[in-house]
Amino acid sequence: MNNQTPTPHIGAKYGEIAKIVMMAGDPLRAKFMAERYLENPVLFNSVRGMLGYTGTYQGKRVSIMGHGMGIPSIGIYTYELYHFYDVETIIRVGSAGSLDKDLKLGDIVIAQGACTNSNYAAQYNLPGTYAPIASFDLCCAAAEKAKQLGLNYKVGNVYSSDTFYDEGGSIVWAKMGVLAVEMEAPALYMNAARAGKKALVICTISDSIITGEKTTAEERQTSFTSMMDIAFGII
């Protein structure tokens, strides 16, 4: 029995969360995923409105939970999941802005690595710059599943920014081959590395920094199912 649960942010008792957790920034997307993919989903968290559910998918126990916006938010939730609930694998399915001319609305980015302007890594007191990366086996499996599903996808670096309204502009990262912008991957990858666990980020292109195209909030909440099919297809 883990005496550190419930935590200040997650109301579940130890054992109520599965070893595999799917996460989305929007708790309503987590609710949508639970209703779409899980058999007999049970709500384990509603603290701060960050909905979390545990159920089964094809006989395998799986949890789904929101993580909020930004590195500090996902950093808290994933730390508690890895360290206090003994979660082994976390897969984030989220949205991203395209920095690549070949990535259109609805296309998939599998984040092999994550560049960032965040100072999250400073806590580790490393004598250099840490490069946050995905778990190799999950990354390879996701790419293979995306190929099997006939999806347009790319695997590579994303840029994870602390600033959504970035006055400095993020397009400059495209010159280094960075595929898209999101806001959470480095904290997830660093928390996983520090805990000796697994992590992957799969994103759907919700808007294009290059063309200015964008999707609606409702579309982001309920129509980005290809990345979910990939995530559930590799567990």
Q: Which two tokens stand for residue 160?
A: 């994870």
Q: Return the beta strands (E) in the chain as ranges.
A: 20-24, 39-45, 52-57, 60-66, 89-98, 108-116, 153-160, 180-182, 198-208
Name the helix (H) or strand (E) containing 29.
Answer: helix 27-37
Which of 109, 137, 133, 135 lies closest to 121 in space, CA to CA?
A: 133
Active-site hit among 26, 100, 107, 207: 207
Encoded tokens for 8: 């200040």
Question: Tokens 């989305």 label which residue?
Answer: 24
DSSP code string of 51-79:
-EEEEEETTEEEEEEE--SSHHHHHHHHH
Beta carbons of 82 and 180 less than 8 angstroms apart? no
Active site annotation includes 26: no
The C-alpha atoms of residue 189 and residue 199 are separated, in whole angstroms, by 6
DSSP 3-state helix, strand, coil percentages of the chain (rounded to 5)?
Answer: 35, 30, 40
Enumerate the active-site residues: 207
